Structure 1
Amino acid sequence: MEKIKFSVLLSIYKNEKPNHLIECFKSIYDNQELKPDEIVLVQDGPLTDELYEAIKNLKNQLNDILKIVSIEKNVRLGNALRIGVEKCSNEIIARMDTDDIAYPDRFKKQIKYLEANPEIDVLGSYMSEFIDNITNIVALKTAPLENFKNYMKLRDPVNHPSVVFRKSRVIEVGNYIEILYNEDSYLWGRMLANGCQFANIDESLIYFRVNDDTYKRRGGLQYVKAEIQLQKELLRLGIVNKFEFLRNITLKNIIRIIPNQLRKIFYIKILRKS
């Protein structure tokens, strides 16, 4: 059987740390058992000199494997990923965040799964959340193995940084669309509403970097507005009904406005496994 070619899609902006980017690239290429045929890095607006230098060095190492897409002004993640998807040369695209680290067998396992299950359009995995170093894992973020549309009523059916998807199916539903903080959730909702098939591998294939800011960023009035906007779209798509819409904006937004330390406890103790 001919090897499936695949691209890895990342978006970077000025706040990223160069050492995190270098660690990320080492995990998705140097240390990866099945290496990608293409890596597409979207530069979302101007970066720091240190980041430009790190990217220059990566380009020298990877040559044509690394495709750099530069956007003059910061357009936010949804728009950056939309452009990135369009620039990917291969039908299979793996997502990755520039501060996360892939397990060495991530792509081998996910590509093998897609080969065996051609009906699957989006494939994710569990994630190991860590602080500072991958030896310091603080929680496991799981994902459902069935009933994805029903699961979407409350939470995302896949972990965005872990997914591999089919480009044609993402384009078919309109690609990534910028919606405040929820470009991934909005994409999954549209794909589920259009009959796309989801799956998760029930093991961790990503080390996901967290700190106190991870939970702080998920609170505040902007997140309240973003949650209401997303739930309106899920209602329009038929993912949730009117009762579920009201329940979600009430319960979810309580979490958005409580103090950061309480929100951190909620995420780690209730939404994660130790």
Structure 2
Amino acid sequence: MAAELRYTVLMSVYGKVDCGELKTAVDSMLAQTLPPAEFVIVKDGPLTPELDSLIDGYREKFPGLFKLCPLEENCGLGAAYAAGTKLCSSEYIAIMDSDDYSLPERCLTEAEYFEAHPETDMVGSSISEFTGSLDNITAYRKMPESHEECVKFAHSRCPAAHPSTMLRKSALLKAGGYRSCLFAEDYDLYVRMIMAGCRFYNFPKPLVYMRVSEGFYGRRGGMDYLKKIAGCKINFYKMGFYSLYDLIRGLAVHTAVCLMPNRLRTWVYNRLLRKNKKEISSQ
């Protein structure tokens, strides 16, 4: 069966991505036990000469595998993935961030789940978060497993870790595809997919290591971030997905978290919304 499975990797790259981190991410997808049939890279605005050179090197080394989608200006993840989706010829699309790492068995595991469960439209996994090097695992994010758990989870938080997901293209397009929704492009997509009748599954075992930089939690604070997230949640209410209770609770929690000092916000994420390194090792 494995030889018959076909999927496309979809990745967005912008000018501030670190070359070494991009190489780690791309290499991890090329080293999959089930290799990709194609690899779509969206250039979200002009890149540095170093990034362009790295990407060109991959195209030369793997002729016919890579497709490039250059955008004249930096448009953000929603617009970038929407443009890249148009170039994906496979029914299965494996999302990959430009600074993360996928375990070798990730895509085979997800593709085989699709084949065994044809009613499923999105497959993801829990993730391990790391800082600096891959052996420095700092936290573990447990995602809801069954579809019912994902739907319940989505009424308060994003039900999947975006860089761990493989999507059925037809279901993605049925829900309207990616769209611009700053800071919440993935959450916005998943809610629309749920409302369109799509079904989700997350493997409890982490299949992706997500890079967490020193400024990761700082970017999840402040009035600008709060306004964007609040707008997203209000839209979920208008769509009929959030109840009034969901909306009030969500706005209250995010207001508190966004406006608290960064050190306290970091503690909240690491201690209340993640499992720490000690808890991981004891599992």
Question: What band does the TM-score fall into relative to the shorter chain?
Answer: over 0.9
Partner residue in 2 for 1:155: 157
Partner residue in 2 for 1:173: 175
Counterparts of 2:260 and 2:144, CA distance in 1: 27
Partner residue in 2 for 1:8: 9
Counterparts of 2:201 and 2:239, CA distance in 1: 20
Counterparts of 2:100 and 2:61, CA distance in 1: 20
1:64 aligns to what SS in structure 2? Answer: coil
Determine if contact 1:121/1:196 at 8 Å carries over to the other structure.
yes
Partner residue in 1 for 2:280: none
1:9 aligns to what SS in structure 2? Answer: strand
Partner residue in 2 for 1:124: 124
Partner AA of 2:29 in structure 1: I
Partner AA of 1:239 in structure 2: F
What do the CA deviations read for 1:50-97 (whole angstroms, capped 9, x no partner)?
A: 111111111111221111110111111100000111111111000000
Counterparts of 1:145 and 1:216, CA distance in 2: 29
Counterparts of 1:108 and 1:12, CA distance in 2: 24
- For the aligned residue pairs, the C-alpha RMSD in angstroms reads 1.0
Shift of 1:156: 1.1
Partner residue in 1 for 2:106: 106
Counterparts of 1:116 and 1:273, CA distance in 2: 30
Shift of 1:246: 1.2
Shift of 1:239: 2.0
Partner residue in 1 for 2:19: 18
What do the CA deviations read for 1:188-212 (whole angstroms, capped 9, x no partner)?
A: 0101111110001110100100022
Partner AA of 1:245 in structure 2: L
Shift of 1:238: 2.1
Partner AA of 1:84 in structure 2: G
Counterparts of 1:203 and 1:157, CA distance in 2: 15
1:214 aligns to what SS in structure 2? Answer: coil
Determine if contact 1:189/1:237 at 8 Å carries over to the other structure.
no
Partner residue in 2 for 1:143: 143
Counterparts of 1:168 and 1:54, CA distance in 2: 32
Determine if contact 1:231/1:245 at 8 Å carries over to the other structure.
yes
What do the CA deviations read for 1:73-131 (whole angstroms, capped 9, x no partner)?
A: 11111000001111111110000001001101111111111111111001110111001
- 5+ long unaligned stretches in structure 2: 277-283
Partner AA of 1:206 in structure 2: V
Partner residue in 2 for 1:39: 39
Determine if contact 2:122/2:165 at 8 Å carries over to the other structure.
yes
Number of equivalenced pairs: 273
Partner AA of 1:91 in structure 2: E
Counterparts of 2:121 and 2:137, CA distance in 1: 30
Determine if contact 2:174/2:196 at 8 Å carries over to the other structure.
no
Counterparts of 2:198 and 2:26, CA distance in 1: 30
- For residues 1-274 of structure 1, the aligned pairs below 5 Å read 1=1, 3-29=4-30, 31-146=31-146, 147=148, 148-274=150-276
1:140 aligns to what SS in structure 2? Answer: strand
Counterparts of 1:241 and 1:106, CA distance in 2: 35
Normalised to the residue count of structure 2, the TM-score between the two structures is: 0.94
Deviation beyond 4 Å, 4+ runs, structure 1: none
Shift of 1:237: 2.4
Identity %: 35
Normalised to the residue count of structure 1, the TM-score between the two structures is: 0.97
